[in-house]
Structure 1
Amino acid sequence: MSVADTLKKRISTRAFLDKPLDAETVHALLDDARWSPSGGNLQPWKVIAVAGSEKSALERLAVEAIMKNPKGEVGDYPIYPEGLQDPYRARRYKIGEDMYALLGIPREDKGARLKWMSRNYQFFGAPVGLFFVIDKEMGNGQWAHVGMFMQSLALLAEERGLGTCMQEAWGMARDSLHKHFGLADNEVVYCGMALGYPDPDAAINQLRSERASVDEFTKFRGF
Structure 2
Amino acid sequence: MDVITAIEGRQSIRDFDASRAVSDDLIKSMLGTAARAPSGSNIQPWHVYVVRDELQRKITDACVERFLSGDEGEAEYHYYPRSWRQPYIGRRRETGFGLYGLLGIDKSDKAAVQGYRIRNYQFFGAPVGFFFTIDRDMEPGSWLDYGMFLQSLMLTARARGLETCAQAAFCPYHDSITPLINAPEQEMLVCGMSMGYPVAGSLINTYRTSRLTADAFTHFPS
Q: Same fold (TM over 0.5)?
A: yes
Distance 2:184 2:110 in 1: 38
Question: Aligned letter for 2:86?
Answer: D
Equivalent in the alignment of 1:38: 39
1:5 deviates by 1.2
- C-alpha displacement of 1:68: 5.1
1:69-122 per-position Cα deviation (integer Å, ceiling 9, x unaligned): 522221x41332221211111111101111011111122212101110110000
Give the structure-1-normalised TM-score: 0.94
1:79 is the counterpart of 2:84:
no
| Aligned partners of 2:171 and 2:189 also within 8 Å | yes
The answer for the alignment partner of 2:89 in structure 1 is 89
| 141-150 or 174-183: bigger deviation | 174-183
C-alpha deviation, 1:61, in angstroms: 1.4
1:168 aligns with 2:168: yes
Residues 205-216 of structure 1 correspond to what in structure 2 (within 5 A)?
A: 205-216=205-216
How far the C-alpha of 1:183 sits from its partner, in A, is: 2.5
Q: Secondary structure at the match of 1:169?
A: coil
Whether contact under 8 Å (2:170, 2:192) holds in the other structure is: yes
How far apart, in 1, do the equivalents of 2:125 and 2:196 lie? 9
Unaligned runs of 5+ in 1: none
The residue correspondences of 1:128-147 to structure 2 (distance < 5 A) are 128-147=128-147
Residue deviations 1:49-73 (CA, integer Å, cap 9, x gap): 0111111111111123334552222
Contact 2:55-2:180 within 8 A present in 1 as well: no
> What TM-score do the two structures reach when normalised by structure 2?
0.95
Alpha-carbon deviation of 1:211? 0.6
> Does structure 1 residue 58 correspond to structure 2 residue 59?
yes
SS at structure 1 position matched to 2:169? helix
Whichever residue aligns with residue 205 of structure 1, its letter is N
The aligned amino acid for 2:100 is Y
1:79-118 matches, cutoff 5 A: 79-118=79-118
CA contact (8 A) 1:163 1:195 kept: yes
Which region of structure 1 is more displaced relative to structure 2, 61-70 or 111-120?
61-70
Question: Structure 1 CA distance, aligned partners of 2:147 and 2:214?
Answer: 21
- Identity across aligned pairs (percent)? 39
- Alignment-mate amino acid for residue 217 of structure 2: F
Asked if the contact 1:134–1:187 (Cα under 8 Å) also holds between the matched residues in 2, the reply is: yes
- CA deviations over 1:118-152 (Å, ceiling 9, x no partner): 10000000000000010010010101111110000
Q: Is the 8 A contact 2:127 2:196 kept in 1?
A: yes
Whether the 8 Å contact between 1:65 and 1:176 is mirrored in structure 2 is no
Secondary structure of the equivalent of 1:62? helix
Q: Is the 8 A contact 2:120 2:169 kept in 1?
A: yes
Residue in 2 that maps onto 1:201: 201
- Contact 2:50–2:131 (8 Å) recurs in 1: yes
8 Å contact from structure 1 (residues 79, 169) kept in 2: no
The whole-number CA distance in structure 1 between the counterparts of 2:160 and 2:14 is 18
Instruction: Quote the Cα distance in structure 2 between the aligned partners of 1:63 and 1:15.
Output: 18
* In structure 1, C-alpha distance between the alignment counterparts of 2:171 and 2:66, rounded to whole Å: 11
Asked if 2 retains the 8 angstrom alpha-carbon contact of 1:133 and 1:187, the reply is yes
Alpha-carbon deviation of 1:22?
A: 1.3
Deviates more, 1:179-188 or 1:92-101: 179-188
